[in-house]
Structure formats: structure tokens, C-alpha cells
């Protein structure tokens, strides 16, 4: 057993490259994290809302808890499918999906404004999945998917082993700009997928909007479960 890893991260069984900024790259954080992969929980299964591996996901959470983490997240927004079960059974804070930030973002922006979501697969991000995070707000939510973006799909959906970060960034920014053009009343953007935080800065530069993602959520929860004494002087 090791110590000092307050955040545990349940991982998909994926072969995609994890660059700095990605949820599954340990150098993304300025604090230690612990990873636990779920064998067999593939991108294809999670996109098809497969619940057959619920017990395996729960077991991964139990391992992380036993290793001493104070809160548990994941590397896929679609793990919202397991959120309620793990919350009830693990007895530590559980925040499996970036979509859990939507109710918070809703309170930050005007009632007549839109909240943009850029997702790995718009077809898979159904109202049922959104509802699991209290994020099914039809009058507020607008979405753009990356399922047809060739470089993104090649690296993360088809897992063909090559990641062209320059081209993926362009695809993500183009998705954000399309949302902004289609919905000029959009006041914030959430990057649903855990591989998208490396491109958040480029999205913000292109749109001028607040950009939320998995890493903003993880850092926020870490700040709540690992409190430090204030420093300074008067």
C-alpha cells in the first residue's frame, strides 16, 4: 500500500494515448492520484450504455477505497451510468462524470442562455445519460459531437494507435466555434470527454467563454477533500 493519493480514478480498458492534460495522465495534476483500470470496460461498451460490468466498476472503486483514496472519479463522462450505484455503496465521495458540473454551471449563467457540451459521441449522450447527472435541461443544453471528426475518432473511438494532437485540437475548436455560431446566446462550454482537457485553453481562446472539463471538476473536489491551512501575512 502507498499513501497520499487522495483522488482515485477508474479507467476504461482503452489503448488510446494519454497526453499531459488528459485525465489518465498523472502529470496532469499537481497532487498524487491513483489509477484503477477495469478490464473489459471498452469504449464501445460504455458508448452502448452496457451495464454488464457494473460489479467490475464497483470492485475497482472498492480497491481504490481500500488503498486510501478520499474521493473517486473516472476517465469517461459516460460512467454516469454507474454514478448512483457507486455513491450508495462506496461511502466516499464519487464523481464519475464531468456532466455532474452541469447543474452548477446552470446557476452561473442567465436562465435564457445556453450551455454548450462538446462530447465524444453526441448520439450516445442521450437524455437518459444526462438525467443521471441532473443535466437533462433541454431548454439550456446544446451539443456538438466528435464522432465524425476523423482524427479524434481514429485515436479515441476506433483506437487505431495514432494521436495527432494538432489536428484533434483543430477539430475540438471547430466544434466549439460551430456551437457558438449556431447559439450566440451560449455562455459556457463543458468538455464532456476526459481526453479533451488538453484542448480547453484553445477552446477558450477561440470562444472567449468559460470552459469546464473533467480536470476542473477533479481539482475542485480535491480542494474539498484535502484542505490546507491558509498561509500569508497581514
pLDDT at 43: 96
Domain ranges of the chain: 7-97+218-225, 98-213
SS3 for 16? Answer: coil
Give the pLDDT mean for 151-158.
96
pLDDT in tens, 168-180: 999 999 999 999 9
Task: Give the class (CATH, top level) of 98-213.
Answer: alpha beta
Model-level pTM? Answer: 0.95
Give the pLDDT mean for 96-116.
97
pLDDT at 197: 98
DSSP string spanning 32-50? -EEEEE-TT--HHHHHTT-
**Topology adopted by domain 7-97+218-225:** Rossmann fold (3.40.50)
Query: In whole angstroms, how far apart are CA 15 and each of 20, 49, 160?
Result: 16, 19, 9
Residue 1 has pLDDT above 70, yes or no: no
The answer for residues whose C-beta is within 8 angstroms of residue 119's C-beta and 6 or more apart is 77, 125, 143, 144, 145, 146, 192, 193
pLDDT in tens, 36-71: 999 999 999 999 999 999 999 999 999 999 999 999
Q: How confident is the model at residue 3 (pLDDT cuts 50, 70, 90)?
A: confident
Residue 18 has pLDDT above 70, yes or no: yes
Give the pLDDT mean for 187-193.
98
Residue 131 has pLDDT above 70, yes or no: yes
Q: Nearest to residue 79, comparing CAs of 110, 43, 27, 123?
A: 43
Q: Are 181 and 206 in contact (CB under 8 A)?
A: no
pLDDT at 170: 98
Check for a shared fold between 7-97+218-225 and 98-213: yes
Amino acid at each position: 500500500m502507498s499513501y497520499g493519493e487522495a483522488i482515485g480514478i477508474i479507467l476504461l480498458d482503452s489503448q488510446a494515448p494519454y497526453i499531459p492534460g488528459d485525465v489518465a495522465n498523472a502529470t496532469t495534476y499537481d497532487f498524487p492520484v491513483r489509477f484503477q483500470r477495469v478490464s473489459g470496460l471498452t469504449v464501445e461498451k460504455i458508448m452502448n450504455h452496457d451495464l454488464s460490468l457494473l460489479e467490475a466498476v464497483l470492485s475497482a472503486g472498492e480497491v481504490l477505497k481500500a488503498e486510501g483514496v478520499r474521493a473517486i472519479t473516472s476517465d469517461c463522462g459516460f460512467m454516469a451510468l454507474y454514478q448512483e450505484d457507486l455513491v450508495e455503496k462506496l461511502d466516499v465521495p464519487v464523481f464519475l462524470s464531468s456532466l455532474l458540473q452541469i447543474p452548477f454551471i446552470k446557476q452561473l449563467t442567465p436562465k435564457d442562455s445556453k450551455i454548450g457540451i462538446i462530447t465524444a459521441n453526441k448520439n450516445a449522450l442521450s437524455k437518459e445519460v444526462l438525467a443521471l447527472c441532473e443535466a437533462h435541461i433541454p431548454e439550456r443544453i446544446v451539443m456538438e459531437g466528435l464522432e465524425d471528426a476523423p482524427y479524434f475518432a481514429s485515436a479515441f473511438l476506433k483506437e487505431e494507435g495514432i494521436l495527432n494532437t494538432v489536428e484533434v485540437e483543430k477539430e475540438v475548436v471547430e466544434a466549439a466555434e460551430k456551437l457558438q455560431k449556431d447559439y450566440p446566446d451560449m455562455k459556457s462550454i463543458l468538455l464532456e470527454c476526459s481526453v479533451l482537457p488538453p484542448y480547453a485553453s484553445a477552446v477558450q481562446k477561440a470562444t472567449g467563454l468559460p470552459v469546464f472539463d473533467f480536470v476542473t471538476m477533479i481539482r475542485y473536489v480535491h480542494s474539498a477533500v484535502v484542505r490546507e491551512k491558509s498561509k500569508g501575512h497581514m
